[in-house]
A = this chain, B = another copy of it.
Amino acid sequence: MENLSTLVNHQIRLAARPNGLPTRDDWSFTTAPVSEPEEGGILVKTLSLSLDPAMRGWMNEGKSYIAPVEIGEVMRAGGIGVVLVSKNSSFNVGDHVTGAPGVQHYWPVGDKQVARGDVSKIDLRVGTIEQWLNVLGMPGMTGYFGLMDVGQPKAGETVVVSGAAGAVGQTVGQLAKIKGCRTVGIAGGAEKCAWVVNELGFDACIDYKAGDLKAALKQQCPKGVDIYFDNVGGDILDAVLTRIARGARIIICGAISQYNNTGAVKGPANYLSLLVNRARMEGIVVFDYAPRFHIAIAEMAGYLKDGRMKSREDIAVGLEHFPETLLRLFRGENFGKLILQVAKD
């Protein structure tokens, strides 16, 4: 067993509620000693953290689908770690586990937290740590259940996904392609769009920064948009609404364009297109599908194995770089799932 007294838990805590984009002042850097877990608990060493657009919402006051991070709390973050000390018979030292370690090097998981399922083992023979944070993890599950359960794609339909180069977007587009759909991404910049087509295999990708999004949608989706998986909201959602097909399904997964607004959220002015087209807009929260994650993971792992699905990550290194790395999401700088590696296995 490690000598815990030599270890220091570096942590990043929420110091203030950001107004707009989070700044350095919204964070505080703290350290804490690392101690033995209580009976029934485990101590996890964090390896890699998942950086997600949803984190911005957790920093705001007020309840959403999940409680906000309180001021002074270690910032919430999903991630993967390795069991360093175990006082629970279900976990062995060296087991790889997933859960929400938070932005810190060591994650003490108490008896009750273990009992309620806050931490679960992952099998690195099924996928790498990166894949477990991406297409086999929360973003992958979000894309899978949003597309399959809410979207209900049929072969030959046209599926459009915004944030196409992101973690959820890449899953949705590739999965839609596997299901026989025409897949059109929306992303920012020519380079990213080329990557979405060439690397991820989408049929097309529209650069929303290049100008006339409606015209591009008309060109790439001549029969209209049957499924729109929305990660961004704002003007892009409004543009897609003008091109939906009859009976379209719009999955509301997120609205990254609006998360750092200091004013009101921009509502979709073209929402009456739902009426004209007998279409539906529906929200999804991935946690609801937890009982079926294992089914989706098995299916996705199969696609990873046979090469039909790629898991692409954009990896930064070092816990201390969390604040500026998170901003890359909101600046649209990541190509693939953004991961912060904080320790080597």
Contact = CB atoms under 8 A, between A and B. Distances in A.
Contacts of A255: 272, 275
Q: Which among A253, A280, A284 has the greatest number of chain B C-beta atoms within 10 A?
A: A280
Interface string A274-286: 1111111111110
B269 A275 contact: no
A303 interface: no
A233 B268 contact: no
A265 B274 contact: no
A285 B278 contact: yes
Interface residues of A, number: 32
A64 interface: yes
Contacts of A280: 280-283
Interface string A230-260: 0001000010000000000000111100100
Given A280-B281, A280-B282, A281-B281, A253 B265 contact: no
A35 B334 CA distance: 72
A238 B267 contact: yes
A142 to B, nearest CB: 11
Given A64-B276, A276-B65, A271 B264 contact: no
A266 interface: yes
A113 interface: no
A238 to B, nearest CB: 7
A266 B265 contact: no
A280 B258 CA distance: 20
A252 B265 contact: no
B254 A275 contact: yes
A191 interface: no
B278 A279 contact: no
B283 A274 contact: yes
Contacts of A284: 275, 278
Question: Which of A268, A270, A288 counts the most B-chain CB atoms under 10 A from its CB?
Answer: A268
Interface in A268-315: 268-285, 288
Interface string A158-192: 00000000000000000000000000000000000
A279 B282 contact: yes
Q: Which of A268, A271, A282, A284 has the most CB of B within 10 A?
A: A271
B275 A265 contact: no
Which 7 A-B residue pairings sit nearest by Cβ, starting from the closest? Answer: A267-B267, A275-B283, A274-B283, A267-B269, A280-B282, A267-B268, A281-B281
12 contacts: A64-B276, A252-B275, A266-B269, A267-B267, A267-B268, A267-B270, A271-B271, A271-B281, A276-B285, A278-B285, A279-B283, A281-B282
Interface of A: 64-65, 233, 238, 252-255, 258, 264-285, 288
